[in-house]
Homo-oligomer: A and B are copies of this chain.
């Protein structure tokens, strides 16, 4: 029997909805692997090349863009960040699930490149609660928080592009919902099976 292919899970949501904490928990399962991003920013102390990021020069990064080597990439505060396609594909073929913790715009790029990706959108219980969380982190100034909040609303309007949504009210419930989604996806009758059968049915009906 051929080895089962892994599945690509894209976990996204507005800034402050808890993508990081949820992904960290999901990655405790050895079936799941994190996708290591490539970046042009300098390594911080303790960061390991190939584990935290692949640290490359601007030239190398641009060369990779040109070769179409990224599932998605973006420039943030002057630095380039991207998800290397070949790494993800290799992991999937080894039967591992790949988890992408990624912003909403990047997530939609990934979906275009790999439509089979399972798209999960994390939502805050409310914009008011999101504001509280962003203020509580104490890392952003008031104007940045306002920007993040209005960004959140535009992002939430893209929810129709996603397969699942999880409201992160209680973190444990949210983690358990994401795990349930992954279990359910393992139980899905593959679309391929249905496509094959549909082909014969249409033939029989003379369509």
Contact = CB atoms under 8 A, between A and B. Distances in A.
B188 A163 contact: yes
A197 interface: yes
Interface string A92-131: 0000000000000000000000000000110000000000
A28 interface: no
A194 interface: yes
Looking at chain A's contact residues, is the secondary structure mostly helix, strand, loop, or mixed?
helix
A183 interface: yes
Nearest to A121: B189
Interface string A163-201: 111100000000011011101111111000110110000
Contact of A184 (B162, B184, B197): B184
Contacts of A183: 176-177, 180-181, 184
Question: So how many copies of this chain end up in the complex?
Answer: 2
Contacts of A185: 184
A56 B33 CA distance: 57
A171 B183 CA distance: 16
A206 interface: no
Contacts of A163: 188-189
A190 B24 CA distance: 27
B194 A165 contact: no
Which of A187, A188, A197 neighbours the largest number of chain B CB atoms within 10 Å of its CB? A187
A46 interface: no
A171 to B, nearest CB: 15
